[in-house]
Amino acid sequence: MFDLAGLTTLKLPFKAKSLIRLTSIENVCVSMQQLGSIPRLVVGGGSNLVILEPEFDGIVLRPEIQYYDIKESGNDVYLEVGAGHPWHQLVMKTLDAGWFGLENLALIPGWMGAAPIQNIGAYGVELKDHCHRVKLYDFEEQSIIELSVPELKFGYRHSVFKEIPDRFLVLTVTLRLSKHATPRVCYGEISEELERQGLDAEKPHDIAKVVISIRQSKLPDPDITPNVGSFFKNPVVRPEVADRLLEEFPEMPTYGSGEYTKIAAGWLIDRLGLKGQKIGGFAVNDRQALVITNDGTGTADELRALVALILSSVKATYGLSLAIEPTQLGQLN
Ligand code: EPU
């Protein structure tokens, strides 16, 4: 067995039978046809993956594809990027090239290939806003296919990959960017922070700078403190459910109007006094309660116990069931 704990940012114990590095699209087709029915797990940057099975009796696939192709059409830029490209580096590279759109998504950890899986999102922008299509390896048909945006079924932290989890391997993602900046600074702190730092809301580089500083002040760096970012999704409820809760908790942050209302799960957990709560090596982060950190010694059972405590406390006080955000190997509850 190979020790692969270092491949994930949560650093839970993880061994697998073998690891296959996929470095090109051609390489994927040849290697995958030989796999047969052996269980497989795709691990890119490993920053949104929770390993609850310390010994995986299968093969870990690491999509390190470095493809990069640019097509311009008027003010639009169509950028096809290999699954192995680190996301934050890509954001900075596009801004330096004068191609805009990804500035609010700066400093998100992980690789390109994982971005469509959970439809990464931050500060009012989601991948879906700039995704044009995704090239995939289809394990069932043993062939390469492309999915367009409607076929990808993007939603809040959701995509077709969540509905059919083990069928596809992302090879490349084509992003649609623009040579014209369209600044999006409506999300809470962004405009306040731009003003505080004396930066320009019209400049995408300045927006990225502010996003980076907000993230650095709120979220623990996964390279230093093991974590997977938000551990839970913000619950999306009918407005009447949110209104009922707001009567009891008037200061509860909510977003959106219309058919559904999103509630800030970090606030729900924070208000229960759970920040800093520890079980073994795991703790609820004391700056952002949606994040669970590992001091490097944590076990899967300790994580299960802390998650169970958070879920039962939230359910008991607010009547809401939080959903786990990261991908899991094995059972969390
Ligand atoms: N809040 C608290 N206490 C906390 C955490 C949050 O009171 O411990 C309050 C904040 O003061 C704010 C509200 O809750 O009023 C929302 O907090 P924040 O703006 O930090 O955003 P979030 O809803 O907690 C989501 C994403 C983050 C993303 C931020 C910014 C999810 C599950 N998480 O967090 O994504 O960076 O918005 O857009 O949607 C991730 O997915 O890993 C991630 C970090």
Q: How far is the CA of 266 from the centre of ligand 1 (A)?
A: 6
Q: Is any atom of ligand 1 closer than 6 Å to the C-beta of 133? A: no
Question: CATH number of the domain that 81 lies in?
Answer: 3.30.465.10
- Residue ending a domain, among 63, 90, 106, is 63
Q: Which atom of ligand 1 is nearest to the CA of 229?
A: 42
d(CA 133, CA 159): 13
Q: Is any atom of ligand 1 closer than 6 Å to the C-beta of 122? A: yes
In one-letter notation, the amino acid at residue 61 is L
pLDDT in tens, the chain (333 residues): 999 999 999 999 999 999 999 999 988 887 887 888 889 999 999 999 999 999 999 999 999 999 999 999 999 999 999 999 999 999 999 999 999 999 999 999 999 999 999 999 999 999 999 999 999 999 999 999 999 999 999 999 999 999 999 899 999 999 999 999 999 998 879 999 999 999 999 999 999 999 999 999 999 999 999 999 999 999 999 999 999 999 999 999 999 878 999 999 999 999 999 999 999 999 999 999 999 999 999 999 999 999 999 999 999 999 999 999 999 999 987
Sheet of 76-82: strands edge to edge?
Answer: 68-73, 76-82, 168-178, 131-138, 143-148
- 110 within 8 A of 133, measured Cβ to Cβ: no
Q: Is any atom of ligand 1 closer than 6 Å to the C-beta of 289? A: yes
Q: Is 325 a catalytic residue?
A: yes
HSE value, Cβ hemisphere, 13 Å, CA-based, for 105: 27
HSE value, Cβ hemisphere, 13 Å, CA-based, for 17: 9
Domain count within the chain: 3
Q: How far is the CA of 210 from the centre of ligand 1 (A)?
A: 16
Q: Is 259 a catalytic residue?
A: no
Q: How far is the CA of 264 from the centre of ligand 1 (A)?
A: 7
Which pLDDT score, from 0 to 100, does residue 220 have?
98
d(CA 71, CA 83): 18
Question: CATH number of the domain that 296 lies in?
Answer: 3.90.78.10
Position 216 in a domain: no
CA 175 to chain centroid: 17
| Whether residues 150 and 79 fall in one domain | yes
Q: Which of 157, 159, 215, 302 is catalytic?
A: 157
Which pLDDT score, from 0 to 100, does residue 34 have?
81
Position 203 in a domain: no
